[in-house]
Amino acid sequence: MIRPHRLELPWQEPQALAHQLAHAYGEEGMVWLDGDGSSLGRWATLAVAPQEIVCCRGLPDEPGASNPFEALRGLAPGHWCGWLSYEAAAWVEPGNPWASDGMATLWIARHDPVLRFDLQKRRLWIEASSPAALDRLTQQLASVTKQPKGKPPSIPLTAWHHHTSADHYATGVQRIRDLIAAGDLFQANLTACCSTAWPQGGNALELFVTLREACPAPFAGLIISDQNEALLSSSPERFLQVSAEGAVQTRPIKGTRPRHGDPEQDANLAAELVCSDKDRAENVMIVDLLRNDLGRACQPGSIQVPQLVGLESYASVHHLTSVVEGQLQAGLSWVDLLEASWPGGSISGAPKLRACQRLHELEPTSRGPYCGSLLRIDWDGSFDSNILIRSLLRQGDTLRAHAGCGIVADSDPLGEAEELMWKLQPLLEALA
């Protein structure tokens, strides 16, 4: 545990400081954990020029591959941010089939100092492990000139290549329905991917600023690695949070409707979602799965569900969200809980490993960081993470976007294909 030194600065918006720091230090190694100003998204964190980087690639039995969970166990105390990919599950369940992805399985960096923003009260601090680090960043910020916001290049909707057509997605939905009818599955989260060339002259920071303005979310974030990779997330979903005292929370999302510009129609869509037996059943099923996952690392009898199937509304969608809480067992860490719960139940299915196997058969592309998590370890050893939905991935000269839908016995194949586009469209339109 580190008790950071803090120095309050005059308020500046996160995007303004992000542009200044990127100009001074470059984008590589930048982390920006963002919020939407709500109670869940009150805080933002910004840092550049990492002191240390840990990176793992590959699946078990691949040359040079390394176990990301063991790497996480070996992190030194400090403030860390990064991502863990969906396919890290290969290190938890190597007997299941997993698709190899070109992006890092784990990329995580330690920063000292960091900037911390209270988006509600509009207050700003530097946090660092030593007074010298505070002074160093203070002087550097004073010497950096303000940078105007650039204009990101637009990406036309027609530039995106969809690796799964609407018809093929509907066929995949029907296949999962058949498997459910045969008793093979109860639920599975079928995803699809589209990709395009990385825009000429584009940079990840400008694209993220555009995304956050169009699709604000409480668990958003930008991570730019030192290896020409980046993730840009506007996720509304928390995966696992573990306090320094071991209190655990997860907030699974299942059930989605689009927002509408007309208030009456928007309210009708929200009411339709709340009253949907199908969406409620899907949410409750994942709550049961996550209660079981948390039970592997939490104290017996500590698992509680303070919110079951609650409505939450965001800029482009309505969601049904539940909250599951517990208390970590003595002697176990957040890494043990993360490993026991990986991959997230809300983006895999039930039974989890069988669902992952069937999804591997149906999805033509790997997921990579999508459906993984953006991770943060704070100075005091507390941990927080999101589920990387509503996210864009940069890998070299390629930009990817993914979306998925939870499929149950009474899912309508054409309706699920339509829902897939509700989820993709706000991301693609934001960049267009």
Q: List active site positions.
A: 237, 254
Residue the block writes with tokens 């995966």:
239
**CA dihedral in degrees (43, 46, 52, 54; nearest 10)?**
60
C-alpha to C-alpha distance for 59 and 250, rounded to whole angstroms: 27
Q: How many CB atoms lie within 10 A of CB 174?
A: 16
DSSP state of 239: E
Per-residue H/E/C for 70-112:
HHHHCCCCCEEEEEECHHHHHHCCCCCCCCCCCCCCEEEEEEC
Whole-angstrom distance, CA of residue 391 vs CA of residue 225: 16
Place of tokens 């990329």: 107
Give the H or E element holding residue 22: helix 14-25
DSSP designation for 153: P
- Indicate the DSSP class of residue 364: S
- Helix (H), strand (E) counts: the chain: 10, 22
> Roughly what angle, to the nearest 10 degrees, separates helices 14-25 and 131-143?
90
C-alpha to C-alpha distance for 301 and 105, rounded to whole angstroms = 34
Classified as helix, coil or strand, 149 is: coil
Place of tokens 């928390």: 238
What ranges make up the beta strands (E) of 260-334? 304-313, 317-327
Amino acid at 54: V
- Rg of the Cα atoms in the chain: 21
Picking from 152, 244, 237, the residue whose alpha carbon sits closest to that of residue 200 is 152
Burial of residue 139, with CB atoms counted within 10 A of its CB: 0-12 exposed, 13-18 middle, 19 or more buried:
exposed
Residue 272 has a CB neighbour count (10 Å cut-off) of 12
CB within 8 Å of 271: residues ≥ 6 apart: none
